[in-house]
Amino acid sequence: MKKLLYVLLSAILVSSVIVVYAPEAAPTPGAPYYQGKRIKIVVASSPGGGTDMCARVAAKFFSKYIPGNPQMVIYNQPGAGGQIAHKIFYNKTKPDGLTLLQGSTSAVRLQMKKGPEAIEYDLTKYKFIGNIVREQSVLLIKKGQKARLTDPSAKPIQVGTKAGEEVWLAMILWGKEFLGWNVEVVPGYGGSSELEMAFRRPGEVEMYASSNAYILNRMLEDGVAEIVCSIGKRSDFPGNPTFEEMLGDKKPTGIPWRAWKSWNGADLVDKFLAAPPGTPDDRVAILREAFTKMSQRPEFDELMKQRVSKSYAVHIGQETDDIMKGVLIVSQAVLDYIKELQRKAGIIAK
Amino acid sequence: MWEASLSGLESILRPDMFCIIFIGVILGTICSLLPGVGSTAMLTMAIPFAVVLGPYGAIALMMSINAVSSSGGTITAVLTGIPGHSSGIATIIEGYPMTKRGMGARAIGAGLTASMVGGLIGAVALTASLPIFRPLVEALGAPEYFMFTMWGISMIVMLSGKAPLKGALAAVLGIYIMMVGLDTKSGAERWVFGEPYLWDGIEIILPALGIFAVPEAINFAVKGGSIAEQRLSYGAGLLDGIKDVFRNWFLVIRASLVGIWVGFIPGLGGPIASWVALGDARASSRGKGDWDRGEVRGVIAPEATNNATEGSTMIPTLCFGIPGSTSAALCIIAFLAVGILPGPEMLRGQLHFTFAIIWTLVIAQLIAGLLCLSLVRPISQVAFLPHHSVVPLIIVLVFLGAFSSNYRLADILLLLIFSTVGFFMRRFNWPRAPLLLGAVLAPIMEKYLWLSHAHYGATWLVRPWVIVIFCLIVFTAGLIPLWELRQKKKGVVREKDEVLKSQT
């Protein structure tokens, strides 16, 4: 009995080793590059979040439109706001088109904040396959408190945030600077759930933003909030101004506006899929074409609306590349200006 | 309300739904048996299946996995001293010493039964209090949350035995350990030494495994023999354990109410509630019992609380549609996909879904409890196996638990560091539980202290609920030394020093 058990265990061990280390079958001459291969999508966050869901929805359909129909494998590599996954992806991944990365805005914000040398990756050198942009953020204020926003003699409106890094916070910083908003930023909340709870309680958060239509509708229906403005136009909340419209003739020009564009641009990147630098152009082209075809399919649209967001936009390859460069390739003066606004709001130490 | 309750029960008791619940319970229990493998991964994998099962199917699958996420952890915590999750750490304090005394089966029997009863009480109380929770949740703010963490931290008095100074220092060390990482409010790096791996801070499972499980395994390997120092027959005491729960019915009700009361606060409930329940059990014992040597009431209280908490963590979800935990967030994703809208509507037009959720919690916890109870006799043999068979198993489970939290090799290195710290703490008789208590509560404590100050300045100190909770802290933490002093005067307290020496 004992011998049988040993034999069985050895067999399992040996077969596992064979399965893991077996060389891939040699490609048939003339066969598509991806035939019989496996594409690994590294997700720079934990399972279950928006980034992970985007990768999983893409993995379900992507392979169908790549000649050779490779297998798709999802690998979650969370940690340090995605930096661990990006660092390994940028520096150590073989650029053979078989490993892709699903990243998010947090990586963009991190590069803006620390610079490519400190974080050891550079998003401007990635080969982008495409990106998915969910709805734009809508700024909410507690019902009946709008008047305090422009009344300097009133108690400042308390704005709740996580670490003062959210894209929507630009509305607060530029609003304080150019519209004279009477606001005080309180960072330290753990996530959107905590923020919403704090918003509903008396005496805590009085202003925060969300892009989630489900949360926004719930808050409005409950009668606890009213809309101030949104970053961009939202078809599901018509009649509400964008922040740019609110600025009117107070809209700044030059460096302050370039800084606004750079900060907000991160929201236009949202969830991106990329190949590592150095990936051959022909393989990138195959992947971009497959991403385009996939994004036009109704079943992809249905699943995206079900799992990720009720409304979203898709950008392909070069478009993503242009958006990313527009956000990240900015002058030092722009970066300094952003830091100055953050300092004024007390988000970073003076 | 009754109609909705019956409608919910009827839908969940259909054979197909019952099968789904059973599958969910099996999957959830397997996750809970393995340290560090939480229900999050299982719930993520279940979403694609849940969305095709319809509303009741989604509720049955997601809620059954969620409901039993701590049930199996009782077995590993009591038998091997390995905590499955942060809420289960309190169970080890009295549960593992019981196993050492050959009463592992009794401890597990008591723990699992208390879990089931706690879960039932939790569900009933949840049903009864649904209308009042919404204003209650809205009434409590950051200052009250901070005071809840202080209530938990006051349990150091109880966990330090006769070495309060060492206990306090250990708690401070625990707090410092959890300061590692990026500061959540400013993004500033704290004790990360330029290493991105440390940006996210340290997973609580690493100190929990390193400080408790590894030193025990080393000691066990050196000492030889079996975990149970007293030889009893396999599974002996299982029925006694079940009876213990009913003998201490008032404690079970109290602990369950603590679970509901503290558990509904998002991200705060479970870990604090189990420590508070343990402290309350000890305070109410008036210094009597085998505390520190393996007291069954010390197992019953945290276990009853743990499962009662499972229900109350759904309160923010049911009342506001706000997920109270990652697991609840995953449940919401699945619910939204099948047309259930978590939020106020759950207490109005969708009340039948709310009751389906509550009934699923009850049924899943009953099935999980009975399933685990049926396994107690064979599993409790572990306590009587020779060290050379058990130590490798414990070590494999510990390392698997550490690695599976994030799949990073650096976690193993940290585990080794914490194991070394734990080994020396045990060697030099430092109480280890306060370190973990400090570590569990530190991030929450820091966050709510900061938010209290940022929003209210010093005025938060005079808020009515803050004063009420402060009185509770003084009452709970002050009573324990007072009772023990009185019992000592009466000559009832036994020589605990030697016992503590061998256990800590």
Distance between B338 CA and the closest CA of chain A, angstroms? 9
Q: Do B447 and A190 touch (CB under 8 A)?
A: yes
What pLDDT was estimated at residue B65?
87
Q: CA nearest A161 in B: which residue?
A: B185
Of residues A32, A242, A270, the one with CA closest to residue A138 = A242
Cross-chain residue pair A197–B447, CB shorter than 8 Å: no
Exposure pattern of A203-213 as b/e (b: 16+ CB <10 Å)? Answer: ebbbbbbbbbb
Report yes or no: A75 at the B interface, CB cutoff 8 Å: no
pLDDT at position A54 is: 83
pLDDT of residue A348: 66
Lowest-pLDDT choice from A281-285, B15-19, B284-288, B355-359: B284-288
Percent of the residues in chain B that have a pLDDT greater than 70, as a whole number: 81
Chain A within 8 Å of B450 (Cβ-Cβ)? yes
What is the pTM assigned to this prediction?
0.72
Q: What is the pLDDT of residues B275-314, one digit of tens each?
A: 888 888 887 776 677 777 888 898 999 888 887 877 777 7
Two tokens, residue B134: 């919404």
User: Shortest Cα distance from A199 to chain B (angstroms)?
Assistant: 9
Interface test with A, best of B49, B326, B332, B450 (most A CBs within 10 A): B326
pLDDT at A172 over 90: yes
Confidence class for position A179, pLDDT limits 50, 70, 90: very high
**Residue B483: what pLDDT?**
65
**Residue B253 at interface with chain A, using a CB cutoff of 8 Å:** no
Model pLDDT, residue A29: 62
| Local confidence band at B504 (pLDDT 50, 70, 90 cut-offs) | very low
**Contact with chain B for residue A2, Cβ under 8 A:** no
User: Does residue A48 belong to the interface with chain B, where contact is any CB pair within 8 Å?
Assistant: yes
Taking contacts as CB-CB distances below 8 angstroms, the residues of chain A near B141 are 198, 201-204
What pLDDT digit, counting tens, does each position of A182-225 carry?
999 998 887 777 788 889 888 889 999 988 787 888 888 888 99
- The overall average pLDDT reported for chain A is 83
Q: What string of DSSP letters covers A22-90? A: PPPPPPPTTS-TTTT-EEEEEESS-TTSHHHHHHHHHHHHHGGGSTT--EEEEEE---GGGHHHHHHHH
Band (pLDDT 50/70/90 cuts) for residue B499 is very low
Residues of B in contact with A200 (CB under 8 A): 138, 320
Question: Residues B480-495: what's their mean pLDDT?
Answer: 59
Contact A165 B200 (CB under 8 A): no
Question: What's the pLDDT at A10?
Answer: 56
Tokens of B397: 């489970």
d(CA A266, CA A169): 12
B12-69 pLDDT, tens digit each: 888 888 899 988 888 888 777 666 556 776 787 787 788 788 888 888 898 888 887 7
Q: Is B404 on the interface with A (CB under 8 A)?
A: no
Q: Do A198 and B142 touch (CB under 8 A)?
A: yes
Q: What is the DSSP letter of A242?
A: B
Helix (H, G, I), strand (E, B) or coil at A178: helix
Nearest CA in chain A to B450: A188
Check residue B34 and give its pLDDT.
66
Name the residue with tokens 């289960």: B88
Q: What is the pLDDT of residue B264?
A: 67
Taking Cα atoms as reference points, which of B406, B432, B416, B404 lies closest to residue B503?
Answer: B432
Whether B255 and B280 have beta carbons less than 8 Å apart is answered as yes
Whether residue B416 has pLDDT greater than 90 = yes
Q: Of the ranges A245-249, B208-212, B437-441, which is most confident?
A: A245-249
Min Cα distance B424 → chain A (Å) is 30
DSSP class of B386:
-
Residues A25-32, mean pLDDT to the nearest whole number: 64
* Cross-chain Cβ contact B337/A200 below 8 Å: no
> Is B426 or B137 the better-scoring residue by pLDDT?
B426
Check A188 against B454: CB less than 8 A apart.
yes
Residue B243's nearest CA partner among B360, B68, B420, B113 is B113
Question: Does B465 reach chain A within 8 Å, measured CB to CB?
Answer: no
Which residues, listed in sequence order, are joined to residue A128 by a DSSP beta bridge?
Answer: A274
Residue A166 touches partner B, C-beta closer than 8 Å = no
Strand partners, A230: A138, A242
Asked whether residue A5 carries a pLDDT value surpassing 70, the answer given is no
State residue B344's pLDDT score: 65
Position A267, amino acid: D
pLDDT confidence bin for A101, thresholds 50/70/90:
very high
Asked if residue B500 lies in contact with residue B429, where contact means CB atoms within 8 angstroms, the answer is: yes
Residue B15: how many other CB atoms lie within 10 Å = 7
| Chain A residues within 8 A of B201 when measuring between CB atoms | none
A175 touches chain B (CB under 8 A): no
Shortest CA distance to A209 belongs to which of A247, A173, A238, A249?
A173
User: How near does any CA of chain A get to the CA of B174, in Å?
Assistant: 21
Report whether A125 contacts A277 (CB < 8 A). yes
In this complex, do A79 and B321 lie within 8 Å of one another by their Cβ atoms?
Answer: no
Mutating which of A57, A77, A162, A197 best tests the B interface, going by the most B Cβ atoms within 10 A? A197
Chain-chain contact of A163 with B455 (C-beta, under 8 angstroms): no
Answer whether A200 sits within 8 Å of B323, measured CB to CB: no
A171 band by pLDDT with thresholds 50, 70 and 90: very high
- State the pLDDT at residue A250: 92
Asked if B267 and A190 come within 8 Å (Cβ–Cβ), the reply is yes
Least confident interval from A84-88, A282-286, B167-171, B230-234:
B230-234
Which of these, B422, B421, B400, lies nearest to B411 by C-alpha position? Answer: B400
Which of B137, B321, B326 lies at the smallest CB-CB distance from A218? B321
Average pLDDT over residues B403-419: 84
Q: Cβ B196–A203 below 8 Å, yes or no?
A: no
Chain B residue at shortest CA distance from A192: B322
The pLDDT tens digits of the residues spanning B249-268 come to 899 888 888 888 776 665 56
Q: Decide if A162 touches B, using CB distance below 8 A.
A: yes
Mutation site, B199, B315, B338, interface A, largest A CB count within 10 A? B199
Lowest mean pLDDT among A3-12, B325-334, B441-450: A3-12
A58: tokens are: 């893409």
User: Which residues of chain A neighbour B43 with C-beta distances below 8 Å?
Assistant: 48
DSSP string, A93-131: ---SSSEEEEEEHHHHHHHHHH-HHHHT--GGGSEEEEE
DSSP 8-state assignment for residue A136: P
> Is residue A167's pLDDT more than 70?
yes
Quick one: DSSP state of residue A1?
Answer: -
Instruction: Assess whether pLDDT exceeds 90 at residue B103.
Output: no
Given CB atoms, is B141 within the 8 Å cutoff of chain A? Answer: yes
Other CB atoms within a 10 A radius of the CB of residue A224 amount to: 15
Closest Cα in chain B to A201: B138
* Residue B205 predicted with pLDDT over 90: no
| B chain contacts of residue A91, beta-carbon cutoff 8 Å | none
Q: Tell me what the mean pLDDT of segment A16-25 comes to.
A: 48
Which of B252, B291, B298 lies closest to B275, judged by CA? Answer: B298
Residue B165: pLDDT over 50: yes
B406 touches chain A (CB under 8 A): yes
pLDDT per position as a tens digit, A311-323: 788 888 888 888 8
Instruction: Give yes or no for A193 touching B (CB within 8 A).
Output: yes
More confident residue, B37 or B248: B248
Q: Kindly give the interhelix angle for B73-80 and B351-379, rounded to the nearest 10 degrees.
A: 30
Beta-carbon separation of A348 and B186 below 8 A: yes
Q: Is the pLDDT reported for residue B370 higher than 80?
A: yes
- Side-chain half-sphere CA neighbours of B371 within 13 A: 19
Q: What is the pLDDT of residue B99?
A: 84
In this predicted structure, the answer to whether residue B132 has a pLDDT above a threshold of 50 is: yes
Q: Is A339 on the interface with B (CB under 8 A)?
A: no
Output the CA angle B49-B55-B58, nearest 5 degrees: 35
Put simply, the answer to whether A197 touches B316 (Cβ < 8 Å) is yes
Angstrom distance (rounded) from CA A198 to CA B225 = 54
Distance from CA of B344 to the nearest CA of A (A): 8
Chain B nearest CA to A242, separation (Å): 27
Question: In chain A, what residues touch B333 (CB-CB under 8 Å)?
Answer: 48, 53, 307
Q: How confident is the model at residue B495 (pLDDT cuts 50, 70, 90)?
A: very low
Q: Angle B232-B237-B241 (CA atoms, 0-180°, nearest 5)?
A: 150
pLDDT at A12 over 60: no
Shortest CA gap B318–chain A (Å): 13
Q: Who among B199, B320, B344 is closest to A81 (CB)?
A: B199
Residue A141 has pLDDT above 90, yes or no: yes
- Residue B158 pLDDT class (50, 70, 90 cuts): low
Give CB contacts under 8 A, 24+ apart, made by B193-198: B196/A79, B196/A80, B196/A83, B196/A84, B196/A87, B197/A79, B197/A80, B197/A84, B197/B408, B197/B410
pLDDT for B1 = 66
Q: Answer yes or no: do B408 and A79 touch at CB < 8 A.
A: yes
Distance CA(A217)–CA(B40), nearest Å, equals: 27
Q: Is the pLDDT of residue A158 over 90?
A: yes
The residue-averaged pLDDT of B356-374 equals 85
Query: Closest to A163 (Cβ–Cβ): which among B187, B197, B324?
Result: B187
Please provide the average confidence, as pLDDT, over all residues in chain B: 79
